[in-house]
Chains A and B, each alone.
Chain A
Amino acid sequence: MKQMNCPLNGVRNIQEFAHGGEVVDQPDPNRCSDAEWAEFVFMEANTAGVVREWWCHVATAYWFIAERDTLKDEIIRTYDAGELFKERVDFTRPEAPKET
């Protein structure tokens, strides 16, 4: 059984975790193009090497970040998302189109 260290709860069997995809910057949904949004939602880089990913400890619904080496199949480090995201990200709404 593979195991992963949850930053909140400690070492748990891997079946308690769900993978949440790569950590990438979210484009501003109000201003990016459809192609940029599709790239963000659907596409993965699938890097062979060290990757940074979202993982969730399902029993506590706790999302954190894991760095893994996909070539060696090793988990290098797991940490709270607060290490990367120190401030709230707000997106301003674009002005509504004027009625004609």
Chain B
Amino acid sequence: MTILPQDFARRSFLYRELESAGATFDEVNGAAIAMACGDDAAAEAAQARSLGLSDLSVLPRTGYKGWNMATWLQGQGAEMAEQNNNVSPQADGTRIARLAPGEALLLGDDQGSAGLIEKMDGAWSMETADGCFQVPRAETNFWLALSGAETPALFAKICAVDLRPAAAPPHTVVQTNVARLNAIIIRRDTAEVPVFDLLSDIASAVYLWRALLDAMDEFGGKPIGLTALRTLK
């Protein structure tokens, strides 16, 4: 049976863009995610290594902020860096990005498992988590991944911050302006190629998707599905 984004109440804001890019979908986390853009899996895997753009918007994520954020999260079993703008990988594959002394962003893995995120969101309540407040990142931010050897060239066009490995090693968070949108960039290179997560305001998802495709064009960048992203070693 063909799975369509319209089969689910929750969809990525980019589902029409993905459909017009020829995407095929599968169910992850109670919504449809683009697994491939086309029929040639080998070509798409190569695309992920040169310059690929994928939409991870339906994967689990959440956020917390407040003066007591760090204490509450650590009390729930999270490990978190003291340093701002840094990512702490957790045992279950979740990544916790510390955005400020009182703000953190939690990203699930590419398999769509929500482990720690579900546990935190289940445990949190206004009454018990004094000084720590939920930020509904899944409802307010879209989430893209940019992968491949050409990503630094692409970012040099659309972002003023130095993202070279010496200035922004893996697990660095950069909160800045990307193509005139306020965005969070998180570096998570594989051994093979640079990979960046990009999160920004969900209402501007289509704008940024098109702006990125336009900027990627000269480097041969194309949309890819989650399967190709998962092939990166």
Interface residues of A (CB under 8 A from B): 1, 8-9, 12-13, 15-16, 57-60, 62
Contact = CB atoms under 8 A, between A and B. Distances in A.
A8 B175 CA distance: 10
A8 B102 CA distance: 12
Contacts of A13: 160, 177
Interface string B89-108: 00000000001100000000
B161 interface: yes
B90 to A, nearest CB: 23
A59 B177 contact: yes
B215 interface: no
A7 B183 CA distance: 18
Interface in B70-99: 84-85, 99
24 contacts: A1-B160, A8-B84, A8-B85, A8-B100, A9-B85, A9-B175, A12-B160, A12-B161, A12-B176, A12-B177, A13-B160, A16-B176, A16-B177, A57-B175, A58-B182, A59-B175, A59-B176, A59-B177, A59-B182, A60-B99, A60-B100, A60-B175, A60-B182, A62-B100
Contacts of A62: 100
B173 to A, nearest CB: 9
Nearest to A57: B175
Contacts of B182: 58-60
A15 B229 CA distance: 34
A12 B177 CA distance: 9
B176 A9 contact: yes
B63 to A, nearest CB: 13
Nearest to B101: A8
Contacts of B161: 12
Contacts of B183: 59
Interface in B154-177: 160-161, 174-177
A66 B117 CA distance: 37
Nearest to A9: B175
Contacts of B99: 60
A18 to B, nearest CB: 12
Given A9-B175, A60-B100, 14 more contacts: A1-B160, A8-B85, A9-B85, A9-B174, A9-B176, A12-B161, A12-B177, A13-B160, A15-B177, A16-B177, A57-B175, A58-B182, A59-B183, A62-B100
Interface in B174-217: 174-177, 182-183
A1 B177 CA distance: 14
Of the candidates B100, B161, B176, B177, the one having the most CB atoms from chain A within 10 angstroms of its own CB is B176
A8 B103 CA distance: 12
B157 to A, nearest CB: 15
A1 B161 CA distance: 13
B53 to A, nearest CB: 21
Nearest to A82: B101
A86 to B, nearest CB: 14
